[in-house]
Amino acid sequence: MIDRADIFVIYDHVQFVKKTWHHRNRIKNKNGELLLSIPTKNTHLKTPIYDICLSSEYEKVLVNHWLSIFYSYKNSKFFYKYSDSLHALYTNKYSTLMELTVEFIKYFCKQLGISIDIEYSSNLTLDGKLTNSTEKVADICDQVNISTLYDANGAKSIIDKTVLNKCGINVVFQKYKHPVYTQMFGDFIPYMSIIDLIMNEGDRSLDIVKSGSLFNI
């Protein structure tokens, strides 16, 4: 979706949900899939994502994450193409979850050859009186001049296309069929971190990602 878009809005003013993809992802090793989670400080339930700080142990955890990546992919075809720059990400200093997350997003966009403008919903002057989820999305689209909204297929349950269409906003839901690519360690496992893809496929990675994209307007 980022590759198809001109601007990527990070929806960071909404509630952070622990034990979700907000702060975790998966890689593949000889034992199958391995879950990597970023530790965060304990906060009240309704804390927005932009206010989530990393816990004091995050640096130690990132070191362990890198070691897991190293031992999982050191024999992959493209490990040494990315290892130095990726290792640098894991040794940087971060204070918030969003700071870390966006640095990783920018890094992988660069590696894939994707140029994208990034905006944060928390930086926009949103209408606090809106309660309808679709109207909130329409407000964001209006403020950053979005005429076509790309979103995941799962968003169909919370976004009313009719409301957005009345606001002059076209909606395209992505129905993604995951492509099979070269992987180490046995049978193919889909929906791994982008790390798994670039380590195994290198410069072909973006073409592989796009080969699985199906858009349902």
How is the chain split into domains, by residue range? 7-117+175-216
DSSP state letters, 116-135: -EEEEGGGS---TT--SHHH
Residues 58-111 have pLDDT tens digits of 999 999 999 999 999 999 999 999 999 999 999 999 999 999 999 999 999 999
How distant, in Å, are the alpha carbons of 24, 43, 66, 91, 107 from that of 88?
Answer: 19, 29, 10, 5, 11
pTM listed for this prediction: 0.91
User: Whats the size of the chain, residue-wise?
Assistant: 217
Dist. CA 103–CA 125, nearest whole Å? 24
**184 in Cβ contact with 200 (< 8 Å):** yes
Say if residue 162's pLDDT is above 80.
yes
